[in-house]
């Protein structure tokens, strides 16, 4: 584990080839730790006889090259986070543990002919081995080393028994994740670009040896992916490497095959769905220059490259790029810094750019590449609000939306219904006195999940059975209020039993491969009705969908978060963009209790650019980002007084050191004050410029680190917070 300290440590070494970026094992405290060399041949602050010596050098060459090491050190300084923890974020698990940086082999166990034909007869007295054999017989006849089945000691012993009886055999083979897969010839051929796409490709390709930020601002379905593919192909053809960041694991799978078919060289993916050995393989392949393209989620940003030539960030506005725990970095912002250090271009793509990116494009800092029309013959969808005031709803469905669903299903098209609330019903309450079931550990109601027949907390995971009587008055008339995706699915299956339905939300996609299977089923066209949360809104291409229904568009209108309106606008346009992406024009129906709200009128009638201008004007007047810089201190404890007292002392230190242009706001309770049994308080620091903010934090943080707080209090600092949760 890295030391959570805001400093580096000096050691002595006589190793002749030691260089920055190499791992070493060093004495630290009462034991040893794995460290990474930051500098060599420095003048230490202490005399040599007071320094400890490096115990072991683990690498014969740097694992982190100069540019990546520089990025990590810059990140530690910008986010005011311990440099050891920042560097640990960049290293795959095996390297953090001190294991050799070598390409891995994949270990599998395969059924033999004896096991397939006579295994059951030979295992009559070995039930554990018989159960594992049955698993192999029912599946592919193969089990991998990282299979969840082998996480138990019982199954590992059973596997050894099967090997000893020659019923399965151990197989070693190279881990070749990056081999290109064959694809139909049509997918290998670049598509014909429209003038806007061609201009975007030309502008990126003509500046491949210089740093420039391009904002690829294209409406949904405008062919941004084709621009990515043709720019990547040019870089790889010249011997360079590309990094493509995507916000969700599901997007890596669908994009991976298209890249493999179009780009010369091996393509690797890095995300949390990969095993540690797989991520290490991709990491080393990129470092050795064997990977032409790496596609991945947030953490793939820290992959080392031998000849990085282009960075692309798809859906650059997405909140998933912001790490919300520990090292709270923003992958998009660090990707821009990395492109600057490498002096290469970076492309930020979105149909709904973040307000920060839109403002920088307006001011000329970014080069805006506009894709104003959908690619091919596809037309933009029509968007209409449905006023549901005084309207009877069936699991959230209005009569007007139901009628439209019937029409599109009769035309044999697909229908997508978006409800950003999972579970069956969000409230279980007493009809007599209004009592509701609430989580004991969080300031939140418990959501009923019919699949489990239990009440669940979506914030801490707590579970409880349905009470038979009111917790306050004892009445037995308890009712469910509201609808989630589970209840919506039930209502649709009752009303449209013959059209097939796929639901995509967190509950239905927990198992490995479950999301990919559901997405593949949707693209096959067999299920006509699609139900889901925001997982369905992020960049997916469903050519059969002609109707999108948004069931509750008002959720984001009542939030106190400064970015709530921006996120609502982005979410609405992103989900609307799933409709009519092929030859049939799409229709989008948005159910709301606020049909006259200015956001809906401007967004649907004038477009996202007009919304951005209005929102930026309001941000400027209120001195909110991007017209100021924020830092958010969070403290949490099992006792609210401890968290509040710590932040009060922090606020005093900040105010004593801050100039008149800096505001220190709070401390105040977090929007959800109690979560997982701990009380949470927040303190916001607002400054006109980054430089002013960082100078203040540099003076105050060493004092905060020395404040006594006890083991029951945790605190953190978030630079450029994206969520005031």
Is 634 a residue whose pLDDT tops 80?
yes
CATH 3.40.50.300 fits 193-225+239-371, yes or no: yes
Is 85 a residue whose pLDDT tops 60?
yes
Among 305, 365, 357, 367, which Cα is nearest to 333's?
Answer: 357
pLDDT tens-place string over residues 257-275: 788 888 878 888 888 877 7
Rounded to the nearest integer, the mean pLDDT of the chain is 88
Give the pLDDT band of residue 182 (cuts 50, 70, 90).
Answer: very low
Residue 104 is predicted with a pLDDT of 62
Query: Token pair of 170, please?
Result: 């151990």
Rounded to 5 degrees, φ, ψ at 395 are 55, 35
CA distance 258 to 311: 17
Query: What is the pLDDT averaged over residues 392-400?
Result: 91
Q: Where in the chain is the domain with CATH 3.30.70.600?
A: 629-719
> How far are the Cα atoms of 25, 59, 160, 350, 383 from residue 380, in angstroms, in the given order?
59, 55, 59, 16, 9
pLDDT tens-place string over residues 612-625: 999 999 999 999 99
Q: Where in the chain is the domain with CATH 3.40.1440.60?
A: 23-96
> How far are the Cα atoms of 5, 36, 62, 80 from residue 39, in angstroms, in the given order?
18, 9, 12, 20
Whether residue 60 contacts residue 37, with contact meaning beta carbons closer than 8 Å, is answered with no
For residue 542, say if its preceding peptide bond is cis, omega within 30 degrees of 0: no
pLDDT tens-place string over residues 665-723: 989 999 889 999 999 999 999 999 999 999 999 999 999 988 877 668 999 999 999 88
Q: Phi-psi bin for 621: left (phi > 0), alpha (psi -120 to 50), beta?
A: alpha
Which residues does 230 contact at the CB level (< 8 Å), separation at least 6? 190, 193, 201
Mode of pairing for the β-strands spanning 105-111 and 168-174: antiparallel
Q: Phi-psi bin for 98: left (phi > 0), alpha (psi -120 to 50), beta?
A: left
Residue 172 is predicted with a pLDDT of 62
β-bridge mates for residue 478, sequence order: 430
> Among 3.40.50.300, 3.40.1000.10, 3.40.640.10, 3.40.1440.60, what is the CATH number of 23-96?
3.40.1440.60
| CATH of region 629-719 | 3.30.70.600
pLDDT tens-place string over residues 521-545: 888 888 999 998 988 777 777 888 8
% of residues, the chain, pLDDT over 90: 52
Which residues does 553 contact at the CB level (< 8 Å), separation at least 6? 385, 568, 572, 590, 591, 592, 600
Is 155 a residue whose pLDDT tops 60?
yes
Residue 354 is predicted with a pLDDT of 96
Q: Where in the chain is the domain with CATH 3.40.50.300?
A: 193-225+239-371, 382-424+483-617
CA distance 388 to 77: 51
Is 86 a residue whose pLDDT tops 80?
yes
Q: Which CATH architecture has domain 382-424+483-617?
A: 3-Layer(aba) Sandwich (3.40)
């Amino acid at each position: 584990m890295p030391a959570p300290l805001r400093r580096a440590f000096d050691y002595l070494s006589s190793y002749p080839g030691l260089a920055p970026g190499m791992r070493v094992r060093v004495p630290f405290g009462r034991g040893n730790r794995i460290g990474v060399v930051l500098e060599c041949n420095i003048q230490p602050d202490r005399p040599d006889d007071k320094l400890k010596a490096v115990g072991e050098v683990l690498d014969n060459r740097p694992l982190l090259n100069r540019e990546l090491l520089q990025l990590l050190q810059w990140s530690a300084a910008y986010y005011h986070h311990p440099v050891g923890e920042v560097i640990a974020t960049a290293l795959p698990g095996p390297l953090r543990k001190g294991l050799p940086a070598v390409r891995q082999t994949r270990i599998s166990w395969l059924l033999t002919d004896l096991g397939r034909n006579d295994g059951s007869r030979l295992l009559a007295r070995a039930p554990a081995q018989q159960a594992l054999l049955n698993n192999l017989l029912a599946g592919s006849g193969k089990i991998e080393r990282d299979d969840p089945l082998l996480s138990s000691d019982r199954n590992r012993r059973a596997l050894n028994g099967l090997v000893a009886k020659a019923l399965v055999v151990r197989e070693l083979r190279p881990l070749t994740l990056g081999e290109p897969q064959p694809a139909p010839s049509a997918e290998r051929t670049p598509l014909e670009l429209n003038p806007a796409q061609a201009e975007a490709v030309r502008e990126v390709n003509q500046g491949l040896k210089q740093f420039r930020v391009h904002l690829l601002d294209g409406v949904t379905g405008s062919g941004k992916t084709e621009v990515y593919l043709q720019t990547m192909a040019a870089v790889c053809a010249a011997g360079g490497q590309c990094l493509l960041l995507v916000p969700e694991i599901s997007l890596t799978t669908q994009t991976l095959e298209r890249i493999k078919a179009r780009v010369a060289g091996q393509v690797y993916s890095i995300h949390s769905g990969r095993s540690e050995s797989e991520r290490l393989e991709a990491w080393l392949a990129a470092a050795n220059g064997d990977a032409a393209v790496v596609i991945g989620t947030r953490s793939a940003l820290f992959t080392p490259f031998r000849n990085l030539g282009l960075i692309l960030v798809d859906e650059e506005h997405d909140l998933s790029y912001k790490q919300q725990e520990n090292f709270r970095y923003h992958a998009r912002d660090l990707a821009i810094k990395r492109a600057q250090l490498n002096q290469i271009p970076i492309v930020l793509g979105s149909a709904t750019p973040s307000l920060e990116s839109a403002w920088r494009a307006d001011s000329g800092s970014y080069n805006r590449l506009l894709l104003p029309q959908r690619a091919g013959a596809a037309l933009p969808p029509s968007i209409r609000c449905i006023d549901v005031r005084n309207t009877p709803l069936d699991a959230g469905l209005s009569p007007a939306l139901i009628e439209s669903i019937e029409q599109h299903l009769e035309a044999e098209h697909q229908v997508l219904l978006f409800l950003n609330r999972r579970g069956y019903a969000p409230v279980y309450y007493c009809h007599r006195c209004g009592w509701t079931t609430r989580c004991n550990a969080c300031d939140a109601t418990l959501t009923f999940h019919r699949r489990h027949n239990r009440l669940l907390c979506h914030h801490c995971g707590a579970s409880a059975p349905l009470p038979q009587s009111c917790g306050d008055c004892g009445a037995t008339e308890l009712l469910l209020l509201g609808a989630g995706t589970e209840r919506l699915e039930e209502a649709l299956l009752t009303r449209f039993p013959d059209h097939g339905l796929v639901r995509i939300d967190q509950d239905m996609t927990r198992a490995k491969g479950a999301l990919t299977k559901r997405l593949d089923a949707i693209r096959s066209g067999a299920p006509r009705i699609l139900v889901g949360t925001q997982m369905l809104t992020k960049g997916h291409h469903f050519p059969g969908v002609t109707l999108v229904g948004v069931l509750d568009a008002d959720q984001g209108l009542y939030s106190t978060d400064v970015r709530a309106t921006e996120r609502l606008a982005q979410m609405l346009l992103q989900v609307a963009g799933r409709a009519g992406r092929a030859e049939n024009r799409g229709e989008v129906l948005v159910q709301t209790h606020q049909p006259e709200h200015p956001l809906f009128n401007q967004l649907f009638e004038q477009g996202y650019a007009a919304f951005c201008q209005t929102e930026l004007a309001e941000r400027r007047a209120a001195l909110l980002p991007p017209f100021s810089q924020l830092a958010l201190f969070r403290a949490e404890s099992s006792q609210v007084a401890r968290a509040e007292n710590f932040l009060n002392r922090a606020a005093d230190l900040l105010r004593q050191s801050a100039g008149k242009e800096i505001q220190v706001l709070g401390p105040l309770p977090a929007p959800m004050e109690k979560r997982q049994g701990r009380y949470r308080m927040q303190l916001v620091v607002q400054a006109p410029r980054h430089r002013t903010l960082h100078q203040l934090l540099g003076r105050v943080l060493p004092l905060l680190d020395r404040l006594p707080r006890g083991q029951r209090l945790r605190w953190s600092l978030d630079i450029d917070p994206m969520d005031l949760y």
